[in-house]
Amino acid sequence: MDLMHGQLLVGNTSVIAGDYKNLSNTQIIVISAGASQQSSSDTRLDLLNRNIEIFEDIIQRLDHHAPDTLLVIATNPVDILTYAAQQISNRSPDKIIGTGTLLDTARFRALLGRHYSVNPKSVHAYILGEHGDSEVPIWSQATIGGKSIMKATIAGMKFDQNRMDQIFEETKEAAYNIIDLKGHTDSAIGVVITHIVRAF
C-alpha cells in the first residue's frame, strides 16, 4: 500500500504482494533477500555462507516458476552471490547479473562532487573490482567536466593524493557507516537498481 500511494509521482503502476507463482511472466526479477550486516564489524564476506543457503532455495524456486527471466542480484556479497546464483541456476549465466560496483561508483562521484563543489553528474570516475573491501578507484581516468583531476586545477584545487585517498576510504566505508547510523542501506542501492532495470 505504501508503495502504491506514490503512483502520482511515478505513473500508474501495479503493486502487489505475491508468491513465486506470480513471477512466471516477468522480464526482470531483483533479488535483494538475504541476511543483513548487523554492524560495521560484519563484513560483506561474513554474510556469504548464510546468504548462499538462502539463495539455493530462492534460485531453485525461480528456475521452476520463471526460468527465462533476467535476475539482478543486489544481496551482499553481491559479486560472489551473483557467481553462486549462476552456478545454482539452470538458466544461462548471462541471465544473472549483479549490481557490481555501480553503487560504489555513485558514492565515489557524489563525494568527489561535494569536494569540488560540482554536480556529481559532471564527475566521471569509476570504482572497479569487487563491490566491497577490495574495490579500487581508477584515478587515471577520473575527470570533471572533461578535465583530469590528476592533471588539471579544478574549481581552484589541484590534485591532493591524501584528500583523494580519504574520499576513497569514505566511499569504501560508506555502507558500514550507514549501517551504524540507521541499521541498513536502501536508498542509494534502490536508485542503482532502478537505473539497471531501466537499461533493459
Name the catalytic one among 5, 64, 131, 184. Answer: 131
131 catalytic? Reply is yes
* Block residue for cell numbers 508468491: 19
What is the spatial distance between Cα 106 and Cα 182, in angstroms, rounded to a whole number?
A: 20
Task: Dig out the grid coordinates for 186 from the structure.
Answer: 536502501
Amino acid at 180: D
- What DSSP letter does each residue of 69-86 carry, written as one string? SEEEE-SSSHHHHHHHHH
Q: 76 near 51, Cβ under 8 Å?
A: yes
- The alpha-helical segments, DSSP class H, found in the chain are 7-10, 48-65, 78-88, 102-116, 161-182, 187-199
What is the spatial distance between Cα 82 and Cα 91, in angstroms, rounded to a whole number?
A: 13
* Residues labelled catalytic: 131
